[in-house]
Chain A
Amino acid sequence: MKITTYINDERKDFQVEPGEVLLDLLRREGYTSVKEGCKTGDCGACMVLVNGRAMTSCTLFVSQVDGKKVRTSEGLHDELAENLRKEFVEVGAIQCGFCIPGVLVSSYSLLTHNPDPTEEEIKAALDGNLCRCTGYVKQIEAIKNVARDFEGVSK
């Protein structure tokens, strides 16, 4: 089948098998920030925004994003995204970094919808992103710091 999606603001027309998994399509097309960690929707390394909502691309068929906007981690460019990246690097929230693109998508989605989250809300927003290196401590700290600064700016 033929589908049209908007990946990182760019219109893309693909001829695809309806059963193809979005993760595979994205990686084949070179969006390699989208990682394969489990392919069962459990690790979150393949998280992307679909119409602004964080979803695991390994559990979506390409047909499900026909006509929709898909944003991958490398497609996040605004100030919030850059602040998140900077803070993750600064506080040491990145170790191996394999989970990070997915974690950033979830963090970005959280702060877009909720600029001043509580620790519980941060934990809830990231509960679909497994990280084996950091123990999450500094990832949560980084998000808190960005939220605090973000709030400061918007005030």
Chain B
Amino acid sequence: MSGEEKEYDVVSHSFPKVDGEALAKGRKVFLDDIENSTDLVASILTSPFAHAQIVDLDTTKAEKVPGVESILHYGNVPRVPHTTAGQGYPEPSPYDAYIFDDRVRFVGDRVAAVAGTSWEAVQEGLQAIEVEYKELDPILDPDRSRQSEIRIHPEEDSTGIYDPEKNIAAHVDIEVGDAGAALADADVVVTAKCKTQFAQHAPIEPHIATAHVDEYDRLIIRTSTQVPFHVRRIVSQVVGVPIKKIRVIKPRVGGAFGVKQEILLEDLVSLFALRTGKKVKMRLSREEEFVSSRTRHPMEVEVELGASKDGRLKGIRMEALSNTGAYGTHSLTVLSNVGSKTLPLYNEAPDVHFYGDAVYTNMPVPGAYRGYGAPQGYYSLEVAMDKLAEEVGMDPIEIRKINHIQEEETSPIFEKLGEGKEGTVQYIHSCKLDECIDVGAERIRWGERGSIKEAHDTEDKARGFGMSINMQGSGIPLVDLAAARLKLNEDGSFNLFVGATDLGTGSDTVLAQIAAETLGVDLDNIVVYSSDTDFTPFDSGAYASSTTYVSGNAVKKVAEDVKSQIIDLAATQYGADSKDLEIEEGRIHTPGGTIDLSDFAILTTSGELELDQQQIEATASEVPAESPPPFAAHFVDLEVDKRTGEIEILKYVAAVDCGTAINPNLAEGQMEGAIVNGIGYALTEEMEFSNSGEMINPSFFDYKIPNTEDIPEVEVILVESEEPTGPHGAKSVGEIGIDGAIPAISNAVRDATGITITESPFTPEKVWKKLQEAK
């Protein structure tokens, strides 16, 4: 750590979450608690076929089911091509989705929806809908899809699809220098080609939304979402109600991880509310959440590295094939991020080529998921780095240290590749990755691994150590907007209104800490209200690791503005010069003496003030010019049972540089949660499918996310840096923790056994088979 650490009063302290007590007491803060009972409930009829044309859909019988009040299907809703992706407008995803279509493209796709007075009536109504399907040949494999005659999106009104004839939703191809020539000239060339699976976010609270039309004919939507403002815009677009007539309110969200960056229920509850005039609730069951919501893009990524004999990278070629399922939501941007969030890390390589396709199939729909393409890219990249280390006879740590990006350096990739379009030039102002590597190595006992392995290896069990390094980003530069509003109350407290969306991450707390630090007041004098489109200013939403950095900068700006208003007013009141005033610990210091902010605040709204009474308040906007990456190093110590192929992780260490950790406990929590999510992704989590594309394990019993018995000892170390463009030196930390597990574990298995596992998850079967092949 540097010697010029700043002293903070509020920031950099582990305050309890501002909503912690309400959550601990189990108060009614989630949507299903707030709207425990609504007039109507509704559910969706989903497709049993992976690919089919709906020839006829008859609701006559369903309409007669007692309690059924409204039925929606392609025949009675507007046909508006759109994307379900909650991204900044204009969205970089193709407009290839419809509220309902007469074609279904995966098992779980929407066919119709029924609203009724009880869940039982709705179920009966759904079953009474008669649908005649004409089955079409399904395409389940992306490579086959590119070469197939069968088109998944033959409709004429969809837009933004890269090549509908070849089922290619999105395509990326960028090159810096001449990677082919660099690889041909390199002393050493290694390749790695790794494949990842369909995986699910699995927040414990499934998707839920309610809607009603209020007394003033406005559509009020409450939804567990990451993107309330995008919800408002997209509902307006597809349902045909002007934005001014829509209010979207976010309650507490029971976990999201990207899956609630989609508009999945809000259009339907809105239509039902508008048609029936009643309050309607929709909630996905766990099975529906698995089958019909969103997943992570399965990919095959090939990386070819060329280096000199001393291990310095000369060229990198990275090719990605992404399966985007039935719809192209986030197809281009996730594909872009496979390269843009990984390749700048190794800026030693002057020549880099990144290209790939995101291809439609008749499979479930991937979307945004923590990491957003970076985990898929890092798998192959970091496996290849270990192979390169072995080829040139270097320690995996040393080869990374001589190749990774450093402070004040840049990478041409930043400019070439952004979120589905060109990016922006960016220099790294803060990078303590070497410190992360060193402290992580020490904690995992990297230097002693040879002797530890020797001491513990048996005929049956092999010990192994592996590592990986990663970077992510902090928001989407020059695209996303965050705004915050702050007003002073008579008692010296402040209301902080943010469009930013706390998903459980603790961002309400983090943003309040940034405001309190900037204003010079205690945290409990900041009252946060977040994510209500009528009352809070715009924020793109909680995605792309944007909240701490982007929304945090908006909060810092608005707090600076409000603070200077207070100081100016106090200076006039007390006949002093503004520059001689300061606010510290809730007190205004003037040359003539000190006054409590609470005593001054009441003057601002009372007749006691010599000058104008006024509401001190401000709104500030932030569009980030850059996206400073957090950096992390992950280390794994594990044991492979050679008899069964089972992997047991003994210890997992990750060190992260996220700038100033605004709330160290919450920053650690982001890392710990992401690491365990990453371990699940690496070892057990996989959506499995029948030959006809139907998910066969849609439950927590069969889709195995880690529980307490599955976790190893996890140690997270915050290696703080000072990011000059961040709020009080902060960068974001929401996603980066999920990037490391797959490559670090794969590299550790290789260290233990010599085999390279190139397909996740690393089930005992796969490991065992590889071990047999290697014999």
Contact = CB atoms under 8 A, between A and B. Distances in A.
Interface of A: 27-28, 30, 32-33, 35-40, 42-43, 45, 72-74, 85-86, 88-92, 94-101, 104, 122-124, 126-140
Given A100-B24, A124-B709, A138 B669 contact: yes
B653 interface: no
Q: Which of B17, B29, B669 has the most CB of A within 10 A?
A: B669
Interface in B12-43: 14, 16-17, 19-30, 32-33, 36-37
21 contacts: A35-B204, A37-B286, A39-B285, A39-B286, A40-B701, A73-B26, A90-B16, A92-B14, A92-B16, A92-B506, A95-B505, A96-B254, A99-B204, A100-B26, A123-B711, A126-B707, A130-B705, A134-B672, A136-B672, A136-B676, A137-B676
Contacts of A27: 32, 36
Nearest to A30: B36
B24 A104 contact: yes
B516 interface: no
A97 B504 contact: yes
A138 B21 CA distance: 16
A96 B205 contact: yes
Nearest to A74: B26
A50 B700 CA distance: 23
B253 interface: yes
A95 B666 CA distance: 8
B204 A132 contact: yes
B677 A40 contact: no
Q: Which of A39, A72, A85, A97 has the most CB of B within 10 A?
A: A97
Contacts, number: 175
Top-7 shortest CB links A-B: A96-B504, A33-B26, A97-B23, A98-B254, A135-B676, A92-B665, A42-B700
A32 B32 contact: yes
Contacts of A90: 16
Contacts of B257: 132
Nearest to A99: B204
A132 B681 CA distance: 12
B673 A92 contact: no
Contact of A126 (B21, B36, B206, B708): B708
Given A42-B699, A132-B202, A95 B711 contact: no
Given A32-B33, A36-B32, A74-B26, A94 B17 contact: yes
Given A30-B36, A45-B204, A127-B708, 16 more contacts: A28-B36, A32-B26, A33-B25, A37-B286, A39-B285, A40-B699, A92-B669, A94-B23, A95-B504, A98-B254, A123-B709, A130-B705, A136-B708, A137-B676, A138-B668, A138-B669
Interface in B631-686: 665-666, 668-669, 672-677
Q: Which of A38, A126, A127 has the most CB of B within 10 A?
A: A38
A137 B285 contact: no
Contacts of B676: 135-137
Contact of B28 (A32, A86, A91, A131): A32
A117 to B, nearest CB: 12
A33 B203 CA distance: 17
Contacts of B37: 28
Nearest to A89: B20
Classify chain B: how many residues form its interface, as a range: 35 or more
B258 to A, nearest CB: 12
Contacts of B711: 123, 135-137
Contacts of A100: 23-24, 26
Given A40-B286, A92-B669, A132-B673, A127 B709 contact: yes
B255 interface: yes
A73 B26 CA distance: 7
A95 B669 contact: yes
A139 B673 CA distance: 11
A133 B708 contact: no
Contacts of B20: 88-89, 94, 97
B528 interface: no
B203 A132 contact: yes
Contacts of A124: 708-709
A85 B24 contact: yes
Contacts of A92: 14, 16-17, 506, 665-666, 668-669
Contacts of B504: 95-98, 133
B273 interface: no
Contacts of B14: 92
A82 to B, nearest CB: 9
A132 B665 contact: no
B628 to A, nearest CB: 24
A45 B17 CA distance: 21
A138 B672 contact: yes
Nearest to A134: B673
Contact of A133 (B21, B255, B701): B255
B254 A97 contact: yes
A59 to B, nearest CB: 12
Contacts of A133: 255, 504-505, 669, 673
